[in-house]
Structure formats: structure tokens, C-alpha cells
């Protein structure tokens, strides 16, 4: 049964015991708008209290991916105008991320293709997270002068060793095996079997349906790079991380240093600070509160507008960061990312939103 929504960018349907959410902006790789966030949240409300729906499934329309993130063109325009639309969007988006993590029914995310930024927030907090051989999962924010959000620092801060620090700072994508290794996914299912899996989810419990299709993913790369990743990213500062990467003598480490030096220096330092603070926080809600402060602060920085311009608007891939180097980013610059937003804090932790379904992620 098709369920109407306030936007055609989210399609809802129920079949058998499952409710299906399909993000429906395939030309934009299903990038999220505020209306889409509200539509997904409304569906979760309706299905949470519908005894006929036992499992929720989220997937993306088209062949390119589940979701490429938030609508960063809209964020760019809002930041240039000094508006509040982005902060309003993040307030509802982050609340949705927290809700997904504690949803009382199985929440199956089909993470096929590109899953980045806000797409990670819609999927990696779920109870059942499925990747395929086509999956490319990333938090690429430092490349646009932003900082990982949607609970990304919560997830990456709990990855083995310093793998999460590596992914957060570089913004690099990972495939199926590495997504599972770093805690961003649970199961691998070949892309060709996703239609059959979706069919089984309409008539079987989620665990049983997944067990029928789960397989061993193709080998990843991160496990074999743990030695230099853990040693280099354990450094106390971003500058020293780069120095260690350059000094290892490992070609992949030197390439990584070169990548870091193309990222926003301010965003790199802020990301490292957020990631390390998030490790000391007990709940996802606390981390989302922290990330909300940082996201609102980033909106007022020149790097966010410049990064989106270079990567998405003009596509010249030549951002001019302010400050231009890591050494020029002061402790005061980083501290400003943690200031209370003018519109107030998110306040998820203060609301006591910590109840979770058995097996959901904290």
C-alpha cells in the first residue's frame, strides 16, 4: 500500500510486514532536504504505532546510491545569506538520527552505492545496516570546510584504533568490508540480491531475511593499514599527524598526508577536537548536541561557503581556505566551533532521550 507524504522526494509503501521508505531524488543521489527529513520522521511515527508493520526498510531511488548527504547547495546559499534555514534543518535531521538509533522496530538500511554525510546519519544508526560491493561510505565534510555531523563522530570515534580518525579527517570513502570493520555497517549482501532481500523482508523477521542473503564481502584495505594509521593518528595535534604520516616511509601514508593538506585546515582541527570530545561522551544524544554547536558555528566560517563553491558550485576543485595552513589555525579559532549557537542548543541529552530498543546503538 502506498502512503502519501508531503513531498514527492520520499516515497512510502507498506507490503506485508514491512514499511518501505524510498528517498526519491535520484538525479541528486537522493540528497536530503528539510522536507525529506520531516517525511521520514512522520513515517517512523506512523509505523512505530502500526501493529501491521514489523520492519522498516530505507533505500534510495536510482542506481547511484542511498543518499549523498544533505542538500549542500541550499546550505551554501543559506550560509552566504546569513540565514537560519540550515540550523533549522540540522535540528530536525539530528533528532531524526537519534530516533533511528533508538527505534523500537528493526530498521534495515540498504546502503547500496554512495552513502555519505546525511546518508550515513539515515543508515548507520539503524539496527540492521546492509552494504554491497557497490557501497562507498564516507563522511567527506572536511573537503568542503565542514565537520562530520549526523552522529558521525559518535560512530567514527568508536571505530577500532584510529581508523575513525583517519576517515573523519581525510573524508575518504570505504567499501563494504571496511564499512563493517569500522562499525558503519553490519552485513554484506550482493547488490543483485537486494530485490530478493526486500521481498523476504515483507514476510520474514529481519534477522531471518538477512541471514538468507548475507555473504562474505570482498577484502578491504584498512585492516592492513592499521599499523601506520594507529601510530600516526594517535598524535596530539593535526600538525603532528601530518608530520608522522610524512615520516613513515609508507607510500600510502604519504599520500594521505597530501590529501589532508588539501582539506580545510580549520575544519581538520575542529574535526579532531570534536572526535576526541565525542569519545568521552556516553550517548549519541550528547554527541549530536555537540555536533549541532559545531555545525552552526561552521555555517559562519568562510571555509564552508568556499568549500562548497569549489567542489559543487564552480567545480574548480581549488578552494582557498581561511586560514590557509594548519599552523595558522589558533586554539581560539577551534574554540569558536564549540560556542552556544545564537538560536540555542539542540538539547537532546537534556531531554533525556536515551531509551533504546534492545540491540540499538548507544
| pLDDT for 361 | 42
Q: How far is CA 42 from the centre of its chain?
A: 21
Q: In 150-250, where does DSSP find H-type helix?
A: 152-156, 163-170, 176-181, 194-201, 206-213, 226-233, 238-247
Q: What is the pLDDT of residue 6?
A: 72
Distance CA 290, CA 275 (A): 10
Note if 117 is an active site residue: no
Task: Look at residue 7 in the predicted model and tell me its pLDDT.
Answer: 86
The predicted-structure confidence for 29-57, as pLDDT tens digits, reads as follows 999 999 999 999 999 999 999 999 999 99
User: Sign of torsion, CA 118 121 126 129?
Assistant: positive
The one catalytic residue in 65, 69, 113, 118 is: 118
Using CA atoms, how far apart are residues 43 and 14, in angstroms rounded to an integer? 11
In three-state secondary structure terms, 53 is coil
Say if residues 67 and 32 touch (Cβ distance below 8 Å): yes
pLDDT reported for residue 362: 39
83 noted as active-site residue: no
Active-site annotation holder among 9, 54, 149, 285: 149
What are the DSSP E strand ranges found in 88-156?
107-111, 114-116, 128-131, 136-138
pLDDT at 208: 98
CA 116/CA 137 separation, integer angstroms: 6
Active site residue 149: yes
Q: Is residue 70 flagged as an active site residue?
A: yes
Low-confidence ranges of the chain (pLDDT < 70): 352-362
Q: Is residue 66 helix, strand or coil?
A: strand
pLDDT digits (tens, 9 = 90+) for 109-134: 999 999 999 999 999 999 999 999 99
Amino acid at each position: 500500500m502506498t502512503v502519501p507524504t508531503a513531498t514527492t522526494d520520499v516515497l512510502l509503501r507498506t507490503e506485508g510486514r514491512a514499511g518501505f521508505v524510498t528517498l526519491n531524488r535520484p538525479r541528486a543521489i537522493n540528497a536530503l532536504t528539510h522536507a525529506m527529513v520531516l517525511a521520514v520522521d512522520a513515517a517512523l511515527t506512523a509505523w512505530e504505532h502500526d501493529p501491521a508493520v514489523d520492519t522498516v526498510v530505507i533505500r534510495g531511488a536510482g542506481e547511484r546510491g542511498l543518499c549523498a548527504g544533505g542538500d549542500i547547495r541550499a546550505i551554501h546559499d543559506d550560509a552566504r545569506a546569513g540565514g537560519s534555514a540550515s540550523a533549522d534543518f540540522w535540528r530536525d535531521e539530528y533528532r531524526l538520527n537519534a530516533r533511528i538509533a533508538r527505534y523500537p522496530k528493526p530498521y534495515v538500511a540498504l546502503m547500496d552505492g554512495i552513502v555519505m554525510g546525511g546518508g550515513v546519519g539515515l543508515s548507520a544508526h539503524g539496527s540492521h545496516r546492509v552494504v554491497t560491493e557497490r557501497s562507498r561510505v564516507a563522511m567527506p565534510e572536511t573537503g568542503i570546510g565542514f565537520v562530520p555531523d549526523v552522529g558521525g563522530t559518535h560512530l567514527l570515534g568508536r571505530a577500532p584504533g584510529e581508523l575513525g580518525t583517519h576517515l573523519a579527517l581525510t573524508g575518504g570513502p570505504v567499501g563494504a568490508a571496511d564499512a563493517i570493520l569500522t562499525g558503519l555497517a553490519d552485513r554484506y549482501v550482493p547488490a543483485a540480491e537486494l530485490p530478493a532481500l526486500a521481498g523476504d523482508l515483507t514476510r520474514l523477521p529481519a534477522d531471518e531475511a538477512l541471514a538468507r542473503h548475507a555473504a562474505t564481502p570482498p577484502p578491504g584495505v584498512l585492516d592492513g593499514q592499521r599499523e601506520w594509521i594507529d601510530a600516526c593518528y594517535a598524535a596530539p595535534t593535526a600538525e603532528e599527524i601530518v608530520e608522522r604520516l610524512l615520516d613513515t616511509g609508507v607510500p600510502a601514508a604519504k599520500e594521505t598526508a597530501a590529501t589532508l593538506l588539501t582539506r580545510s585546515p580549520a575544519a581538520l582541527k575542529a574535526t579532531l577536537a570534536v572526535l576526541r570530545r565525542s569519545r568521552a561522551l556516553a550517548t549519541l544524544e550528547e554527541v549530536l548536541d555537540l555536533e549541532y554547536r559545531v555545525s552552526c558555528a561552521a555555517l559562519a566560517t568562510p571555509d564552508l561557503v568556499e568549500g562548497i563553491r569549489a567542489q559543487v558550485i564552480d567545480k574548480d576543485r581549488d578552494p582557498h581556505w581561511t586560514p590557509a595552513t594548519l599552523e595558522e589555525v589558533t586554539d581560539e579559532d577551534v574554540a569558536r566551533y564549540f560556542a552556544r549557537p545564537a538560536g540555542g542548543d539542540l538539547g537532546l541529552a537534556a531531554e533525556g532521550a536515551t531509551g533504546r530498543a534492545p540491540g540499538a546503538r548507544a
